Structures are given as C-alpha cells and as structure tokens.
C-alpha cells in the first residue's frame, strides 16, 4: 500500500455542500496543493483508496483525478500511481483565481441587474470582506 494513504486527509465532503461530490474532491485537493500541504511529487492515494476513505464511489474519485490531471495539477504514472505535478501549486492557484473571477463577475452582473451602482457595489464588497474576518 502507498504510504500516502494515512497522511492524506482532505476537507470533508457532503451531499449538502455546494457542487457535485467529484467537484468537491477537486476543490479540496486543489486547496491542499495550493496551500502547500501536498507538495510537488507527493503521491496521492489510488482512487479506490480515496473512495474508501471518503465513502464515495470509485467513479467519483476517478472523475476528480481526471479533471485535476487535465488541468496539469496532478499526473499519473502507469503502474506507479498519481502524483502532484511540479507546477501543481501555481496551477491550482491559477485555477482558483480564475474560478474566483468568474464568481465575482457573476455576482457583479446580478448586482447590476438589481440596480446597484459601482460605488454601492464596492461598498458591498467591503462589507462582505469585513464580515469574513
């Protein structure tokens, strides 16, 4: 068995959280990678092992891994396993930024439709940021 198995603990996933379960796995793994808890070259558990840990179907984890692989964040070596890519850290940060920009854009659009002026929008953004702290 791979030694990675016992070390890897990713944020909880739940049917009640936003996004499909596979998407939640993608997001949680990106967070581990962008925050440096999973370093380039680190081995990830096999998807069957992670499925067992997270109590989700194998196909759910497989889909998450495939998406991370397409994004160049992890890579697979036949017979050896799956690893965090050299630039996985930057790429997951880039991906997160892109996702954040999209969400902001969407939020701004909704706010504009609700009749908010740019100044009011900036104020709202400040409020949200303050509320978070």
Q: What is the contact surface with other proteins in residues (CB under 8 A)? A: 15, 20-22, 48-49, 51-52, 55-60, 63
- Provide the 3-class DSSP secondary structure of residue 118: helix
Give the nearest distance from C-beta 34 to other proteins in angstroms: 25
- Tell me which residue of 28, 95, 31, 25 sits closest to 60, measured CA to CA: 25
Give the nearest distance from C-beta 13 to other proteins in angstroms: 10
Quick one: which H or E segment has residue 65? helix 58-70
Give the nearest distance from C-beta 61 to other proteins in angstroms: 10
The number of CA neighbours under 13 Å toward the Cβ of 125 is: 13
Beta carbon nearer to other proteins, 103 or 128: 103
Beta carbon nearer to other proteins, 62 or 93: 62
């Amino acid at each position: 068995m791979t030694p990675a198995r016992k070390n890897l603990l990713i944020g909880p996933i739940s049917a009640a959280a936003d996004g499909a379960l596979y998407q939640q796995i993608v997001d949680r793994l990106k967070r581990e990678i962008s925050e440096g808890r999973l370093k380039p070259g680190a081995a990830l558990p096999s998807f069957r092992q992670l499925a067992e840990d997270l109590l989700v179907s194998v196909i759910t984890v497989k889909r998450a891994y495939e998406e991370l692989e397409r994004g160049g964040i992890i890579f697979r070596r036949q017979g050896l396993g799956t690893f965090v890519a050299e630039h996985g850290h930057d790429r997951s940060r880039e991906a997160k930024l892109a996702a954040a920009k999209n969400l902001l854009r969407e939020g701004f659009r909704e706010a504009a439709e609700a009749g908010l002026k740019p100044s009011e929008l900036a104020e709202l953004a400040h409020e949200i940021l303050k509320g978070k702290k």
